[in-house]
Each structure stands twice: as structure tokens, then as C-alpha cells.
């Protein structure tokens, strides 16, 4: 019988298989950041262990880093101590580190792919749940806890039980104005935050094949929000083209050998998935969340649902609690929801294409009075590219703030936070209670919806923007 993409990559990394034990899996790439690594390095020290494969390990700083005044010492002493701990640990053990101020610094899931380190058929782990992002390359990539970080540092392997596989086939073509973010939000609303649990998802079908690498990363990034272990997309010419010439992409004969191998990484026609979901891409529309988990979403044209309409008691209760926290009432049109903050950034939507699409909408327009808009590039490289294209000017002249790269308001570990009761339209991935700051309320949206929302001050899509005669786009 044929094998799925996930099974092929899995099988190629089994170091040891024994009856009644989890497989011991080899890890090709281990990404580190400041938040989930200190206790792991401590563990190594306590046991007199070293890092087994420094050449498969890389670290950057992202969660705590400020996005303004980065040349000044970090104001928060606890954040500063954590960054200093990472720097000390990397120096002591010999790990390559891209600290704040370095040109390769950025959100760990933006940095790996742009360096060409994330490649098809590799296993990638990081002490961060959004490691699923790297699955866009046909890599088997998943988030791990700190004990596992220590385990990989010490052994370059992980004992793991093989997950089941689920195909998510997206038929048809996404209509104009519908993005990868809308698609993944719609998928999560359909299968639920626990729907992918125990599975590796494989996104496939014509609508997926058409997507750029960056859009594919947006999709795979949020696999974890459906509860999945990982999300994958089979590598194809789009993948190879993206990788070719990047810093760590193979060269010469190695490139040819790599491509030959990568081309085998497709689910066989006779392979069987443990579960299948089919989505009609042509039926989709801009999608936003109204609740406090990423599965609580609806098309922008819909209204806040009535909790009483849920058959399942725990879903009903969750919806009631969500409306209470979000300060919304059932039946209220989603388009009427006013926001005071717009955040464009994160490992979901902080790459250059995301910034371009937000800028294209803001060009020649103004952020509405009373709305604060933060644009935070996913990495320094993304930032430099945006500046080279003049996108920063578009953002600042529309009234948005252009910031330094990092996680920023995606989780509010640095000073970029919502105040209690503030409401954001955010291109990030989690609308949990307090995620963007204590008492803050988050609506997850695409970069296009974020930009249109910033202009109108309420949740909106670019189609809602009237053609403004006074608009004089600079045309970037």
C-alpha cells in the first residue's frame, strides 16, 4: 500500500523502532528562542551533557524583544534577564545565535525558512507550538516542550508515537480577496480546535497548489490551532523556486540530489488517510473570529452567533463565556464591531507578501481617528525588504506605526500590549483571553482585512472601502 507524505518523512527519520516503544526519530533542525530554552540548558549543565549537533541547531531572540528603541537597554529587567540567559547559554554551549540587532534576527518561524534551513523532507522542532509553520515546505515540523528541547539538544532525537494522518483537500479556486488566512480560519471553524488532535494534517488540492510559499506558511502555521500535531504541504516547483539560492539551500550536485529526493515526497495515489475533510475553496469569503478561541469564527458578512444555537452543551457554554469576555451581543453584525487597535505581524502574517498586501490597501488612505495600527515585520530581513520597496513610508504616511521585527503584540511579552477592554483586529493566530494583554479582546483577521479595518475603524474587508476620490496612491 502507498504511503502519505507524512509517513514517508517519518519513516526516513526512524533511528530505532521496537515493539511497544515509541519510534526514536532523528531531528534535522532544532530552532531555539529565549522563552522555552533556559530550563533545558540548565538540565544539560546539571547532567554534564553537551549539545550533540551544533550544526543542526540555531537560536534567535523574538518573544521578549522590544520593537522600538532597540539600541537602548531593554527596560523590563525580567525580559532582559531572559535574553541575557539565552546569550550566555549559546556562548557557553557554542550555539549559533542571532540576537536583537543582528540582521538575521526575527521570529524564529520566519527566520528558518528565509535562511533556507527549512527544507522538504526534514524534521524540524522548536520549543514553540507554531513550529507547524515549516510544514509548508513538506517538512515534518512540530512544537515541543522544554523537556523535549533538552532531549533534542542532548541526543538530536525524540521518542515519539506516530500520529494519524488527515487530508484536508481544498477544491476549486479561492475567490479574489480571499486569502490563506481566511482559508485556515474557515478550516478551523469547520473542524474545531480539537478536530486535528492526534493527526498530522496534509493540505492538498488545487487551491493549495496555487498558493505561494508564504501563503502556505500561513496555513501550516495555524494547524496547531486545530489541535493538530503538524500540518504539511507536498513540495513542488513553488517550493524549489523559493529555496533555490538561499543561504543554506543545497548547491550544485547536492541541489540536484536534493530535488530528486524532494520530488518523491508526495502522497502516493493509493495511500490511505485516517481521516479526510473536503473544503470548497470557491465558497469562501473573508473570515474573522468573534470569540476567544480560533475556532470561533465566521465570514465577515455574518453576525455574532447566538450561543443558544449550539447543540453541544460545552460549545454553548464556551460561546456564552466568549461573548461575555469579548463584550459582544448575539446577532450583532460582525462589520459593526469597532476596534481601537490593528496589529499586522507575527509568524502567521508577518512576511513580505503580508506587508505588501496591507500596504496596497493603505496606500493613499488614512488610519481612522482613534485607531492605533502597529506594523511589525516578522524578521529584520523582511523589514529591510519592506523598506527597500517603500512600504514603511506607506504605513507611516497612513498613520500606522512601523516597528522593529519580533513577536510583539502577538503575545504581548514585550511592551506592545492591549490595555484591558481594548479591542484589536490582529493578523496573529490566537484570540485567547488576555493573549495580547490582560483584558484585551482580539479578532483574528487577514492582513487585507486588518488594513481595511484600520481605515474604517470597524471590521471590514477591502471591498468595503469606497473608491475615495481624494486617494492618491504612491503606487508601491
Partner 1 sequence: MEAFTAHTGRAVPLRRSNVDTDQIIPAHWLKKVTRDGFEDGLFEAWRKDSDFVLNRPERQGATVLVAGPDFGTGSSREHAVWALQNYGFKTVVSSRFADIFRGNSLKNGLLTVVLPQETVERLQELTEADPTVEITVDLESRQVRAADLTADFELDENARWRLLNGLDDISLTLQNETDISTYESSRPTFKPRTIQV
Which residues lie near ligand SF4 (CB under 6 A)? 62-63, 107, 109, 128, 130, 346-347, 407, 410-411, 428-429
Q: From CA 145, how far away is CA 129, in angstroms rounded? A: 9
The entry of partner 1, ligand SF4, none near residue 307 (CB within 5 to 8 angstroms by kind) is none
How far apart (Å, rounded) are the C-alpha atoms in residues 232 and 242? 16
**What's the burial of 93, exposed, middle or buried (CB within 10 Å: 0-12/13-18/19+)?**
middle
Dihedral angle computed from the Cα positions of residues 276, 351, 124 and 165, in that order, rounded to the nearest 10 degrees: 0
Judged by CB under 8 A, how many residues of this single chain contact partner 1? 85
Nearer of residues 169 and 429 to partner 1, judged by Cβ: 429
Cβ nearer to ligand SF4, comparing 108 with 277: 108
Among 2, 11, 21, 419, binds partner 1 (CB under 8 A): 21
Planar angle of CA 87, 89, 93, nearest 5 degrees: 120
**Which one-letter DSSP state was computed for residue 329?**
-
Q: How far apart are CA 267 and CA 117, in angstroms?
A: 23
How far apart are the C-alpha atoms of 361 and 380, rounded to whole Å? 23
Q: Please report, in angstroms and rounded to a whole number, the separation of the first and last CA atoms in the chain.
A: 51
**DSSP SS3 for 436:** coil
Q: Which does 335 bind (CB under 5 to 8 A by kind): partner 1, ligand SF4, none?
A: none
The 401-420 contact track toward partner 1, x by CB under 8 A, reads ----------xxx-------
Nearer to partner 1, 161 or 470 (CB): 161
Using the rule CB under 8 A, is 57 a contact of partner 1?
Answer: yes
Cβ 2 to ligand SF4 shortest distance, Å:
34
- Examine residue 60 and tell whether it contacts partner 1 (CB under 8 A): no
Residue 387 touches which of ligand SF4, partner 1, none (Cβ within 5-8 Å per kind): none
- Would you count residue 263 as binding partner 1 (CB under 8 A)? no
**Residue 303 contact partner, candidates ligand SF4, partner 1, none, CB within 5 to 8 A by sort of partner:** none
Distance CA 448, CA 179 (A): 8
Residues 163-192, interacting with partner 1 (CB under 8 A): 163
CA–CA gap between residue 171 and residue 403 (Å, rounded): 38
150 in contact with partner 1 (CB under 8 A): yes
Q: Please tell me the distance from the alpha carbon of residue 431 to that of residue 296, in angstroms, as a whole number.
A: 9
Cα gap 473→476, rounded to integer Å? 8
264 touches, from ligand SF4, partner 1, none (C-beta below 5 to 8 Å by class): none
SS3 content of the chain, % helix, strand, coil (to 5): 40, 20, 45
Could you give phi then psi for residue 446, rounded to 5 degrees? -80, 165
> Hey, is 232 helix, strand or coil?
strand
Of the candidates 415, 434, 457, 462, which one interacts with partner 1 according to CB under 8 A?
434
Among ligand SF4, partner 1, none, the one that 36 touches (CB under a kind-dependent 5 to 8 A) is partner 1
Known binding-site residue numbers: 347, 407, 410
Residue 28 found at the interface with partner 1 (CB under 8 A): yes
116 binds partner 1 (CB under 8 A): yes
Cβ distance to partner 1 smaller for residue 281 or 305: 305
Q: Is 82 in the site for partner 1 (CB under 8 A)?
A: yes
Q: CB of residue 223 vs partner 1: minimum separation in angstroms?
A: 11
The nearest distance, CB 228 to partner 1, in angstroms, is 8
Q: How far is the CB of 416 from ligand SF4 (least distance, A)?
A: 11
DSSP state of 136: G
Determine which residue in the list 90, 136, 144, 355 makes contact with partner 1, applying CB under 8 A.
Answer: 144
User: How far is Cα of residue 329 from the mean position of the Cα atoms in its chain?
Assistant: 30
Least separation in angstroms between CB 146 and partner 1: 4
Give the residue among 134, 117, 153 at the shortest CA–CA distance from 37: 153
Among residues 155, 212, 238, 301, the one that binds partner 1 under rule CB under 8 A: 155
Least CB distance to ligand SF4 at residue 435 (A) = 9
Closest approach of partner 1 to the CB of residue 86, in Å:
9
* CA distance to 54, 72, 244, per residue, from 57 (Å): 5, 28, 21
| Contact between residue 321 and residue 291 where contact means Cβ atoms under 8 Å apart | no
**Which of ligand SF4, partner 1, none interacts with 428 (beta carbon under 5 to 8 A by kind)?**
ligand SF4
Binding status of residue 49 toward partner 1 by CB under 8 A: yes
**Part in contact with partner 1 (CB under 8 A); list of ranges 43-51, 326-334, 348-356, 374-382:** 43-51
Name the binder of 107 from partner 1, ligand SF4, none, CB < 5-8 A by kind: ligand SF4
**Angle in degrees, CA 255, 8, 275, rounded to 5:** 135
**How many CB atoms within 10 Å of residue 235?**
27
Dist. CA 84–CA 405, nearest whole Å: 18
**What are the binding residues for [4Fe-4S] cluster?**
347, 407, 410
Minimum Å gap between C-beta 78 and partner 1 is: 4
Q: What span, in angstroms and rounded, lies between the C-alpha atoms of 205 and 77?
A: 49
Amino acid at each position: 500500500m502507498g504511503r502519505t507524505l507524512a509517513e514517508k518523512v517519518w519513516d526516513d527519520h526512524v533511528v530505532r523502532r521496537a515493539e511497544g516503544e515509541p519510534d526514536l526519530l532523528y531531528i534535522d533542525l532544532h530552532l531555539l528562542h529565549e522563552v522555552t530554552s533556559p530550563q533545558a540548558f540548565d538540565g544539560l549543565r546539571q547532567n554534564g551533557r553537551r549539545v550533540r549537533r551544533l550544526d543542526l541547531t540555531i537560536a534567535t531572540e523574538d518573544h521578549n524583544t522590544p520593537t522600538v528603541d532597540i539600541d537602548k537597554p531593554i527596560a523590563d529587567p525580567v525580559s532582559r534577564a531572559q535574553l541575557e540567559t539565552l546569550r550566555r547559554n549559546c556562548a557557553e554551549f557554542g550555539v549559533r545565535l542571532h540576537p536583537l540587532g543582528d540582521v538575521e534576527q526575527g521570529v524564529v518561524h520566519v527566520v528558518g525558512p528565509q535562511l533556507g534551513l527549512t527544507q522538504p523532507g526534514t524534521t524540524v522542532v522548536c520549543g514553540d507550538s507554531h513550529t507547524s509553520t515549516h510544514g509548508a515546505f513538506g517538512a515534518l515540523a512540530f512544537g515541543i516542550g522544554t523537556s523535549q528541547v533538552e532531549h533534542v539538544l542532548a541526543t538530536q532525537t525524540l521518542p515519539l508515537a506516530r500520529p494519524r494522518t488527515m487530508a484536508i483537500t481544498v477544491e476549486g479556486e479561492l475567490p479574489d480577496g480571499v486569502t490563506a488566512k481566511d482559508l485556515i480560519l474557515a478550516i478551523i471553524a469547520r473542524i474545531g480546535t480539537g478536530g486535528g488532535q492526534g493527526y498530522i494534517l496534509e493540505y492538498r488540492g488545487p487551491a493549495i497548489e496555487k498558493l505561494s510559499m508564504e501563503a502556505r506558511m500561513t496555513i501550516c502555521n495555524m494547524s496547531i490551532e486545530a489541535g493538530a500535531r503538524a500540518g504539511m504541504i507536498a513540495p513542488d516547483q513553488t517550493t524549489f523556486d523559493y529555496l533555490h539560492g538561499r543561504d543554506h539551500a543545497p548547491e550544485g550536485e547536492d541541489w540536484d540530489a536534493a530535488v530528486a529526493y524532494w520530488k518523491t515526497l508526495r502522497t502516493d495515489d493509493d495511500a490511505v488517510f485516517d481521516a479526510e475533510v473536503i473544503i470548497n475553496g470557491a465558497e469562501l469569503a473573508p473570515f474573522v473570529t468573534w470569540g476567544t478561541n480560533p475556532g470561533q469564527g465566521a465570514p465577515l458578512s455574518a453576525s455574532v452567533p447566538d450561543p443558544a444555537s449550539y447543540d453541544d452543551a460545552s460549545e454553548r457554554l464556551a460561546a456564552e463565556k466568549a461573548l461575555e469576555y469579548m463584550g459582544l451581543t448575539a446577532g450583532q453584525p460582525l462589520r459593526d464591531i469597532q476596534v481601537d487597535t490593528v496589529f499586522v505581524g507575527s509568524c502567521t502574517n508577518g512576511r513580505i507578501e503580508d506587508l505588501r498586501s496591507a500596504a496596497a490597501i493603505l496606500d493613499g488612505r488614512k488610519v481612522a481617528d482613534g485607531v492605533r495600527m502597529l506594523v511589525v515585520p516578522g524578521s529584520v530581513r523582511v523589514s529591510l525588504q519592506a523598506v527597500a520597496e517603500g512600504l514603511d513610508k506607506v504605513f507611516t504616511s497612513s498613520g500606522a506605526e512601523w516597528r522593529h521585527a519580533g513577536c510583539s503584540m502577538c503575545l504581548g511579552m514585550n511592551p506592545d500590549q492591549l490595555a484591558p477592554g481594548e479591542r484589536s483586529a490582529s493578523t496573529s493566530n490566537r484570540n485567547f483571553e488576555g493573549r495580547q494583554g490582560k483584558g484585551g479582546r482580539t479578532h483574528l483577521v487577514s492582513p487585507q482585512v486588518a488594513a481595511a479595518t484600520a481605515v474604517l475603524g470597524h471590521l471590514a474587508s477591502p471591498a468595503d472601502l469606497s473608491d475615495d476620490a481624494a486617494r492618491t496612491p504612491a503606487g508601491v
